[in-house]
Amino acid sequence: MGRCRFVPPYLLARVAPGSLVVDEALRAGRAVPVEVRRVPSAAPAPAWTVHTADSTTTLPGRAVRSAGSPASGDIAVDEAATGITGALALFAEVYGRASYDGAGAPVSLTVHYGQDYDNAFWDGTQLVFGDGDGRVFERFTKPVDVLGHELTHAVTEHSAGLVYRDQPGALNESVSDVFAACLKQRLLGQTPDEADWLIGEGIFAAGIQARALRDMAAPGTAYDDPALGRDPQVGHLDDYVSTSDDNGGVHLNSGIPNRAFQLAAVAIGGATWEGAGRVWYDALTGGAVGPTTEFAAFAAATVAAAGAHADAVGSAWETVGVTPGASAAGSPVPAAGARRVSVRRTGGFAGLRATGELDLDGDDPRVPEVAALVDRVDLRAATGGSPQPDRYVYAFDLCGDSATVPEQHLTPDLRRIADLVLEA
């Protein structure tokens, strides 16, 4: 997964272009002025360790506090410690997940990153938090849901692996907000009706006309300030923003599934983290959601995971304009006219050709399994390489995504798709 930022780039460009420059340099793999140096942790590692970068961009920085140690007196360090303790407890105690990878991986966090750095992110290795510029943003460890949001990016990376672009990317962002809200409400002991559903409340400096960075209950209303502009998030599919910015508008369009979750949580009732949160977690990790899952397929997965609350969850999605897909296994929702899967096999010792095609909107008994497999496959990440003598070469077209894959590089899912579609 790519580097996942808490503050959307359209907002950074407006109020903190310096932070955006650092972000883009890191994302592009370019050097930044301060050397990036990673120091291996001593073994056995504690459940979490908070470091300070001492206002540099060196990662992970100097270790300050680890699990089981007392408060350090550094407010950012101690806020990070409180947040990571609560977030890990949420996933462990409610969902039975040991750390972000499900296997107890130690969590590395860094605070005091950069100078006046207006962001927080998960870089695939650790959680990183800036102190803000003091003019628009305060420190990013202040709202506990920021930490919950970033840790959930790691959970998503190690479960569904939603690609960080377009609808799957917006779902990636939304899932992080979902469990950030669950964390905040759990720590405060709030019900869905009592919660404010704000993400990043308290992150803005005094004088900024903003309640938070996002409002899950009312996307597009979190702020309206001369320095920030007006919150551009959308909360209904009719208003979906098609753009090349922000990885296809992942922070803009995440308001749509955010609103669906808020509505589902209120309808289900009880504790959000045990009700709607359990449904969303089961959908995310149950195998029905994959890297390229889009809104309708994710909605279908949540309905399938909701049990007795299926009608409430389905109604929540319908309210934001998303009709859960026909396949609860999470079939993709490609562009109109693209719901076909074709496979062409060439090569081999005899040089024979085999072709097959399957209409995912048809009633062929192979459709449910093929749809689920297609959803899990990120064809863009399929390994290429040169063909080998007398081995087959497969040309796949999966609902508009195409790739040619030598036989030796077929994943189990691609091989199963080929077997099913080429079936006589």
For residue 421, what are its two tokens? Answer: 């579609």
Structure tokens at 247: 């990885």
- Cis peptide leading into residue 368 (ω within 30°): no
Whether residue 150 lies in the annotated active site: yes
Residue 184 CA: distances (Å) to CA of 84, 144, 188, 406: 12, 7, 6, 48
Of 138, 150, 157, 173, which one is the catalytic site residue?
150
In the 8-state DSSP scheme, what is residue 325?
P
Catalytic, out of 51, 112, 251, 309: 251
Yes or no: say if 62 and 54 are a contact pair by the CB < 8 Å rule: yes
Tokens of 362: 């048809």
Q: Are strands 229-230 and 224-225 parallel, antiparallel or unpaired?
A: antiparallel
Q: Under DSSP, is residue 333 helix (H, G, I), strand (E, B) or coil?
A: coil
Is the peptide bond preceding residue 60 cis, with omega within 30 degrees of 0?
yes
Beta bridge partners of 359: 340
Positive/negative CA dihedral, 403, 408, 411, 415 = positive
What sign has the CA pseudo-torsion 293, 295, 300, 304?
Answer: positive
Catalytic positions are: 150, 251
